[in-house]
Structures are given as structure tokens and as C-alpha cells.
Amino acid sequence: MDLGLTDRVCVITGSTVGIGLATAKLLAAEGARVVVSGRTPERVKRAQAESGAALGVVCDLGAPGEPERLIAETKAALGRVDVLVNNVGYAEQRAFENVTDEEWDASWQLNVMSYVRAIRAAVPLMKEQGGGVIVNVSSTAGKRPSTGMPDYTVTKAAVLSVSRLVADLYARDGIRSNAVTPGPTLSEAWLGTGGLADQQAARTGKSRDEVLAAVGAGRPLGRLAEPEEIASVIAFLCSDRASYVTGAAWSADGGTVPIII
């Protein structure tokens, strides 16, 4: 199936590992000119090589000005921005009463404001071009709160609101905006050293493998997602095959959230 992505310039934030890297690989395989981004030169260089991306940009997207620089460098190097996939994010398991103001702010800056800033920078370019696509990676936690990750949950709900707001604001400019809400995925967020599996194991006294097995068993499909499975949904929403889809929040969670929205 031709997704109509040949030569489209696709910017993906947080794309050196996991869902972001899987998305970069898939979009590049579809003929897109992909831009990968991350905080460290080594990871960005590796992701660019692995995915076949046209450009790699080192940036700290939680800092003001950095999402805007990512979009500006893309425009300077590749001439346009057709697709923006906001994927960068951070999650940590902690009790609501223990989350400090500083931690709330750090989560907000990375998980929400990086999206807002990148969208704000990309929209004028897309309007000039006559259209574009924005896909924002939220989470099941955005639809159903995860009590063990309070700040993450609130920020991911905000991402859904931003996605719908942008869809309503810019539909007549030919800009589509959608969100994807993945469930637990076999990516660095869960599998990395000190990641969610390790955190939950330390809190519960279970082994890391026991945690992963239990989390997978808690999905109706009985397993965690592969990053490529989430990337496939993102790629569809980026494509011409989804040309009449905007303002949606697509669940890709193995049936985790039992609601029809």
C-alpha cells in the first residue's frame, strides 16, 4: 500500500530509541525524508544511521527555544516541514504526594511544552505550504489516569487536548492533527536500566521479568506492544491514507482502556 509519503519531510522528536526510532525507520522506508532528534550526539548519529534519516539534530526539547530550533534547522536543511511527530517524553513512577513542584514543571516542559513549541513553530510553515500533518504521541494514561505516574498522566491528558485544539484551529489550512495513545511498550521507557520495569520491581519486590510478565498479562491481548506496532499507527496517520482523519485520539493499547473514544 502506497502511503503517499515519498519525499515528505517528517520531523520526529525523541527518535533515537523505542517508538520514535521505529517510526523513523518506517517513514524512511516509505520514502520520506526523515529528521531524527535527541539529546546526545552519539545517539542521534546512531539513530540517523539505523533509520536512514536525512538529518539528525541534537537538542534538549524540554528547554525553551530548542523545539523551535529543531524546526528551523529542518527548514534550512530540507526546505520544508510536511509532518511533525511529537514523541519525546518521560515517565517515572512516584506517589502523588511526593512529586515536587520542580518535578511537575520538568514533566510539563518536556511532555507538553515541547509539543506546543514544536507545533507553534511548524504551523506557519505548513500553512505556507498549503497543509501538513501533526501526530502527537500521548498514552493510555491520558485517557485513564495511572495513579502511579501522576505528573505523566496529567501531561499526557494535556497532549490529547492540545491535539484536538490544533485540529480545530487549523483544519481549514489543510493541517491535520491527531494523537496516538499507546499502552505499555517494549521500549527503553520500560526496558532501560532504571526504567519503569526496574522501578516497579523495586517498589513491589518482584523481579524485573515478573513485572513485565504481569504488565503484559494485564492487557486484553495478553502482551506488551512492540515499538513497530505503534509506529505503524503513527505512519498511517501521517499518510495520505488518513486524509480525512483529524482531531482523533487513536488507541494502540492492546485493548487496555475499555472506552470507545
Q: So which residues are the catalytic ones?
A: 152
* CA–CA distance, 223 with 217 (Å, rounded to integer): 6
- What is the β-pairing status of strands 175-182 and 132-137? parallel
H-helix or E-strand spanning residue 198: helix 196-204
**Total count of residues recorded for the chain:** 261
* CA proximity to 70, closest of 115, 107, 105, 28: 115
CB-based contact 160:179 (threshold 8 Å): yes
DSSP per residue, 43-87: HHHHHHHHHT-SEEEE--TTSTTHHHHHHHHHHHHHS---EEEE-
Q: Is 14 left (phi over 0), alpha (psi -120 to 50) or beta?
A: left
Question: Is there a contact between 93 and 145 (Cβ–Cβ < 8 Å)?
Answer: no
Strand partners, 181: 251
CA geometry: angle at 160 spanning 14 and 26, to 5°? 40
Among candidate residues 228, 218, 139, 123, the one with its CA nearest the CA of residue 176 = 123
C-alpha cell at 172: 481549514
Radius of gyration of the chain (CA): 17
